[in-house]
Chains A and B, each alone.
Chain A
């Protein structure tokens, strides 16, 4: 390429700049035209097969009776959906129990996962020696997978051998709380573990948002005689609004998709009370071989989440006005 241009420039009848540009365009077209698609192709193949195809296939499955072990997989219209909403179907009770479990977990965990990390971020949002160090420590549990933290907390919460009851006993509290087998302890455990595990993640997002608030705003508020609470209320919170919306939306989705914690820590106990929607869907689809019904549940679940997310957005838009 470089040679071509040099030759062109050395020619006596060097073309005017415009023609030169046009030629460059043409040569870009030569390597070009298909070039953007070649850049895009590898990802688009993956995206098509594992991102778009499953959406279409999911809808298609949901209107079929799809048993892995049966040769015939007849079209059954909306029967899979109807089963989820009619109380005389075999699946109705278990399905709504799992919806209830997911709802309970989301309602209990989201407020804590929004507020506790904000507290951590406010604590870390000042300059003091060791700030980066503490930020790293609070974030550390998040880099561990749910398998590790699940096994770890199943052990820590063990009624007899666990550290939690050992510590409770040491400070004079009951030392035999059945953390993972009885209500309400099972929910308290699942929420507590999740707060311990993921607070650092939200805190880091808040910290980035806090650092974007102009120090001049705080200075101005201080000059107006605003105390710490008033500064928080009138400068920090409004400045954090977009970040807050992001944190709430992603946290609601994360909590609603909870699976590993109850699968490993409470193992659904007591009974199947802590079996969540995601767990029930994969169990129904992959263990009990009814992919059609599981697909219908996935779609109903995705729609429920969409409604919650939209409501969330609306609520915050209104507040902004």
Chain B
């Protein structure tokens, strides 16, 4: 007979495994259940959603919520979806172009005023953006940008985060390749476009995804600078939808599903980039 020790230890590890996975699954349920409920409710009829207590499954399975959303002239949800898509894409491109160029100058080029510019840019990281909303409102008002696409694309790109994030990344790149390119007679623009940017694809992808998410989800700014129903992005649009449908939850949840799908898909595809971006932003602190 073998000694009992290995078996005991084996079953102890097995038990710990079971406890670990039970905990992990219970937590997963807490994080996912609300999202699953959102989808379930979006597939109910109005009457089914009004039942007390609510039924677990959509019975009958109904396209009611989505039909309401797709043929709705007072709440043009599809239009909001397109506006959001366009705004977030353009915003993300604008951040990539402006932040990468500025970050390159701050990381690699020597010039008068570099220290001051960097200090000013980093300094604003400590100012809560919400405290600039009122003056920024007056500025976009002066520019006649209220209720236009530009108002949700451009001002947010002044954030210091992208510059800071890319500068850290550029500083971590080895100098040798740039030196070699200089010896080959490349100028700064060629080095930037042909050497530095191709080497920085992972960081650029991370920044692009994070900027897209931030813009797609922004709520506080657009509810005060967009007014016309056909100009809204999804977050303020959802607020309007809640206002007109109150407790007609299948419709409201269908809108929420539509607003969640692109970012959830983006998250599944770019999970590595998003999580790396977040953890790196923590390490710099």
Mask for B248-285, Cβ within 8 A of A = 1, else 0? Answer: 01001101100110011011100100110011111101
Could you tell me if A151 and B264 are in contact, using CB atoms closer than 8 angstroms? no
Q: Are A43 and B102 in contact (CB under 8 A)?
A: yes
The 3 lowest CB-CB distance pairs between A and B, nearest first, are A145-B217, A246-B285, A205-B282
A35 touches B188 (CB 8 A): yes
Residues of A within 8 Å of B264, CB to CB, are: 140, 143-144
Which A residues lie within 8 Å of B253 (CB)?
Answer: 151-152, 155
Q: A44-B117, A146-B219 are in contact. Are A156 and B128 (CB under 8 A)?
A: no
Contacts of A55 in B (CB 8 A): 124, 127, 132, 135
Main SS at interface, chain B: helix
Query: Quick check: A147 and B158 within 8 Å, CB to CB?
Result: no
Q: Which residues of A, 30-48, contact B by the 8 Å Cβ criterion?
A: 31-32, 35-37, 39-40, 42-44, 46-47
Q: Which of B1-9, B23-31, B64-72 contacts A (4 or more CB under 8 A)?
A: B23-31
Q: Is A96 an interface residue (CB 8 A)?
A: no
Query: A residues within 8 A CB of B126?
Result: 306, 309
> Are A40 and B117 interface neighbours, CB within 8 A?
yes
Does B244 sit within 8 A of A, measured CB to CB? no
Closest to B263 in A: A143
| A residues lining the B interface (CB < 8 Å) | 1-2, 4-5, 24, 28, 31-32, 35-37, 39-40, 42-44, 46-47, 49-55, 57-58, 61, 120, 123, 128, 130, 134-141, 143-148, 151-156, 158, 160-163, 166, 169, 175, 196, 200-201, 204-209, 212, 242-243, 245-247, 249-250, 253, 256-257, 259-260, 264, 278, 281-282, 285-286, 291, 294-295, 298-299, 301-302, 305-306, 309
Write the chain B residue with the least CB distance to A199: B31
The smallest beta-carbon distance between A209 and chain B, in angstroms, is 7
Nearest A residue to B129 via CB reads A257
* Interface flag for B53 (CB, 8 Å): yes
Partner among B97, B117, B217 whose Cβ is within 8 Å of the Cβ of A42: B97
B218 contacts the other chain (CB 8 A): yes
The answer to whether B238 touches A42 (Cβ under 8 A) is no
Whether B35 contacts A147 by the Cβ 8 Å rule is no
| Cβ B285 vs Cβ A138 within 8 A | no
Q: Are A278 and B220 in contact (CB under 8 A)?
A: yes
Instruction: Identify which of B111, B130, B255, B275 contacts A278 (C-beta below 8 A).
Output: B130
Q: Please indicate the chain B residues that have their CB under 8 angstroms from the CB of A5 in the complex.
A: 184-185
B148 adjacent to chain A (CB < 8 Å): no
Given contact pairs A39-B192, A50-B156, A143-B266, enumerate 4 new A-B contacts (beta carbons under 8 Å): A39-B102, A139-B274, A151-B255, A206-B282
Query: Which positions in B face A, CB cutoff 8 Å?
Result: 17, 20, 23-24, 27-28, 30-35, 37-38, 41, 49-50, 52-54, 97-99, 101-102, 104-106, 109-111, 114, 117, 120-121, 124, 126-128, 130-139, 154-160, 163, 182, 184-189, 192, 213, 216-220, 224, 234-236, 238-239, 242, 247, 249, 252-253, 255-256, 259-260, 263-264, 266-268, 271, 274-275, 278-283, 285
In the bound complex, CA of A294 to CA of B132 (Å): 10
Give every chain A residue within 8 A of B128 (Cβ-Cβ): 253, 256-257, 301-302, 305
